[in-house]
Structure 1
């Protein structure tokens, strides 16, 4: 395989950005180049989180993001690998996704993380098999954890708070979520 993986630094941003724009476009996001670049300038080179890019002949063809997430069970941070992306023409044919996830977990080990998490949809059998094969190749154990993850779109609340400054304070009150407030007449 003529693919290599590199931890993204600010020096590689020019190579990395076209892939990120492609990923955002594929995800249906309206791409704002200036905002996207500013975001990545702020996260690359961070000691705790990192991005790994797959490169072929000087072109970024895939990436994975790895961020620390606090874990109450281990009272430690866990390396969370997410947003694995491979350019469409190379998906599923050369093992680039597996290579990226493995590189992310190896870099996490280098940085001292004792645990890592990856995630996929329950019905994504190829990705589930990927994690199984990868764990064997890396010589590490893993367990499948049943959970449901939610992506909550907060934009409408943010927009409302711009027009109603007290809106977020009202939402943050414990009474909003108490069982009594759900009963009719509980608000007095």
Structure 2
């Protein structure tokens, strides 16, 4: 939920892309809404919390670096399109992750290959998941081209609220008051974030 805050800090102080004060004030509302919506799920280890924070930092860096690539003269022309840029960064990410995968899970590689060959459900779900995830992230990169790293992070955070509501509806779970309140605050915060600069200018 804190990804927009990390993105805003990096954008403001590292990448020299100022975020308006009005939008800064919207971030706690959005983050707070997501926290309220998931407050019943707060069963975690400190290692998980630290890992999530680290993931937020890397996500913020990725967003800002992708935006930087899109604006770099000469390089953006050679990349050709947002789709090409996302494809190249995905390939690089895959290649960089191979040593870590082999280090942590290399001993299970044979077992995985055998399971992939013999269990259709695993194979089909894995391929479908990969395609959906790739498509979602490419769309996210396209969104980044039209906005900025902080706005993309805000949209990504809003997605969590939508997922909470969607999963509850699909699985028939009850939406208690706190969850509904958090969802409302989160979605309202995102809407406010999207229009706040225009509202301030009018004043």
Question: What TM bracket, shorter-length normalisation?
Answer: under 0.3
User: With structure 1 as the length reference, what TM-score do the two structures score?
Assistant: 0.25
Give the TM-score normalised by the residue count of structure 2: 0.24
Name the larger-Rg structure: 1
Q: Which has the higher helix share?
A: 2
Q: Which has the higher contact order (CA 8 A, sep 6+)?
A: 2
